[in-house]
């Protein structure tokens, strides 16, 4: 279920499974159509989705985006005896409500930033005067497509942020202390009881080079995130992810699906910034190319509560890096209808171009969204993957598109430092 770059990566990986008999995508996109039969289904119309699954004998539904999960699509599928990979409505509150997640962390002793949950501007202004210094983090409590976060460093920025959050009246807001450290993403797969790690990544949220400009859904990513060492990953699983899955099970709202933990690596250890309840986009585009094991039986085992019996996920030592090509105007109003070409040339050298905001119009591939493509390559290092991805990107013809030129730059700098320390040639 879905139509973005994450869903293209999922379809691409699922299509490679020897266990697959037939793959449908709803609604899909032209890239997904290379791997699946795309069907015109409204993901918000749960009855139509269920009827389609029954008619076609669908045995497993993989739900990509967050909105249908928060809306309870997985619950309705399971009630119809159709296996679904993804959390139900109650468990999806981990992403759907920042306040819910913060309160769960408080109750379960999960390390996270200090916070206050407010409802309305007056409450927010009281909290900001009495509790928090600067910088301070303000988050919309509901779904915001990765863009509902403001890090305010001055009082003027705080006022501007509040003007934006409350432009249409009072709303729920979470105000957090600012954490000093490096941000990293840890993924895990759960079946309600069992949880296993599913790789690491770092993405680039800001629209411009040098991490400038507004937040976006993600302008690029790389995997693995070496800064999250095996010891830190084990600590995050033990102190953050596993207690969350246990708390959800104890509350009678077991979590099934991908749990995506955004972490801050502070001086005292990993702390939870927020959860997403699905694969990230563009993180899926760097995780799945590194996955050496079959994805389909893993998702099927999680959906039926048998994850402990499944082969654990195993990732290649190789790195992967993806560069997002967005339409001019993003993350505001993106230009639509621009012709896209050169994808075959871009992929000729081994890169993979995942499509997101694309459609076919008069026989042409054109842009129809903010983030349009994700050009992904692998290599022995992040630097090598970066070079291959940008070389492939140079073959793409999209006059209305733009991209960042510095994806992976921080990690590539660390790779160079490690080589120097070893006395290796740079």
CA dihedral 370, 173, 208, 287 (to 10 degrees): -70
Was domain 319-422 assigned CATH 3.90.600.10? yes
Distance from C-alpha of 244 to C-alpha of 13, rounded to nearest angstrom: 28
Positive or negative, the Cα torsion across 371, 375, 380, 382? negative
Torsions phi, psi of 190, nearest 5? -130, 155
* CATH dotted code for 181-309: 3.30.470.20
Looking at residue 227, its pLDDT comes to 96
144: confidence class by pLDDT, cuts 50, 70, 90: low
CB contact set of 21 (below 8 Å; sequence gap of 6+): none
Distance from C-alpha of 382 to C-alpha of 379, rounded to nearest angstrom: 7
List, by residue range, all CATH 3.30.470.20 domains of the chain.
181-309
Distance from C-alpha of 373 to C-alpha of 400, rounded to nearest angstrom: 12
pLDDT tens-place string over residues 70-95: 999 999 999 999 999 999 999 999 99
Looking at residue 426, its pLDDT comes to 58
Was domain 5-85 assigned CATH 3.40.50.300? no
pLDDT tens-place string over residues 313-344: 999 999 999 999 999 999 999 999 999 999 99
pTM value > 0.75: yes
pLDDT tens-place string over residues 207-220: 999 999 988 999 99
Mean pLDDT of 372-381: 98
Is the pLDDT score of 129 beyond 90?
Answer: no
* Angle made by CA atoms 308, 246, 72, in degrees to the nearest 5: 90
Is the pLDDT score of 411 beyond 60?
Answer: yes
Looking at residue 3, its pLDDT comes to 96
pLDDT tens-place string over residues 280-301: 999 999 999 999 999 999 999 9
Task: Please name which of 342, 298, 358, 292 lies closest in space to residue 320, comparing C-alpha atoms.
Answer: 292
CA dihedral 302, 303, 309, 311 (to 10 degrees): -50
Looking at residue 424, its pLDDT comes to 66
Token code pair at residue 154: 């001055």
Token code pair at residue 112: 């996270």
pLDDT tens-place string over residues 226-249: 999 999 999 999 999 999 999 999
Which superfamily does 115-177 belong to?
ATP-grasp fold, A domain (3.30.1490.20)
Mean pLDDT of 366-387: 98
149: confidence class by pLDDT, cuts 50, 70, 90: confident
Is the pLDDT score of 131 beyond 90?
Answer: no
pLDDT above 90 as % of the chain:
89
Distance from C-alpha of 31 to C-alpha of 189, rounded to nearest angstrom: 26
> b/e per residue, 147-161, with b = 16+ CB within 10 A?
ebbbebeeeebbeeb
List, by residue range, all CATH 3.30.1490.20 domains of the chain.
115-177
List, by residue range, all CATH 3.40.50.20 domains of the chain.
5-85
250: confidence class by pLDDT, cuts 50, 70, 90: very high
Is 73:2 a contact under the CB 8 Å cutoff? no
Is 226:176 a contact under the CB 8 Å cutoff? no
């Amino acid at each position: 279920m879905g139509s973005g770059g994450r869903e293209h990566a999922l379809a691409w990986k699922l299509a490679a499974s020897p266990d697959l008999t037939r793959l449908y995508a709803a609604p899909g996109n032209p890239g997904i159509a290379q791997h699946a039969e795309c069907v015109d289904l409204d993901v918000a119309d749960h009855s139509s989705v269920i009827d389609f699954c029954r008619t076609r004998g669908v045995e497993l539904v993989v739900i990509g985006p967050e909105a249908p999960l928060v809306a309870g699509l997985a619950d309705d599928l399971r009630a119809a005896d159709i296996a679904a990979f993804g959390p139900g409505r109650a468990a999806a509150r981990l992403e759907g409500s920042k306040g819910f997640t913060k309160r769960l962390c408080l109750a379960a002793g999960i390390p996270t930033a200090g916070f206050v949950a407010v409802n309305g501007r007056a409450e927010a202004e009281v909290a900001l005067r009495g509790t928090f210094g600067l910088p301070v983090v303000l988050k919309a409590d509901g779904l915001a497509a990765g863009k509902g976060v403001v890090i305010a460093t001055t009082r003027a920025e705080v006022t501007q942020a509040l003007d934006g959050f409350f432009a249409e009246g009072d709303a729920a807001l979470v105000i957090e202390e600012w954490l000093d450290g490096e941000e990293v993403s840890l993924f895990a797969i759960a079946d309600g009881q069992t949880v296993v790690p599913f790789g690491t990544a770092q993405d680039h949220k800001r629209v411009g080079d040098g991490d400038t400009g507004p937040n976006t859904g993600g302008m690029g990513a790389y995997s693995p995130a070496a800064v999250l060492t095996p010891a830190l990953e084990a600590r995050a699983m033990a102190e953050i992810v596993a207690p969350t899955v246990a708390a959800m099970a104890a509350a009678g709202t077991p979590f099934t699906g991908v749990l995506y933990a955004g972490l801050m690596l502070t001086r005292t250890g990993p702390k939870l910034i927020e959860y997403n309840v699905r694969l990230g986009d563009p993180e899926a585009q760097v995780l799945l190319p590194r996955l050496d094991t079959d994805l389909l039986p893993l998702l099927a085992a999680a959906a039926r509560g048998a994850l402990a019996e499944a082969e654990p996920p195993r990732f290649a030592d190789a790195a992967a890096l993806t560069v997002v090509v967005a339409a001019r105007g993003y993350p505001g109003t993106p230009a639509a209808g621009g012709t896209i070409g050169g994808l075959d040339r871009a992929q000729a050298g081994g890169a993979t171009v995942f499509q997101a905001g694309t459609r076919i119009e008069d026989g042409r591939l054109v842009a129809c969204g903010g983030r349009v493509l994700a050009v992904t390559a692998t290599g022995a290092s992040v630097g090598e993957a970066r070079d291959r991805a940008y070389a492939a990107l140079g073959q793409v013809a999209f006059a209305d598109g733009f991209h960042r030129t510095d994806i992976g730059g921080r990690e590539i700098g660390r790779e160079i430092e490690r080589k120097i320390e070893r006395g290796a040639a740079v």
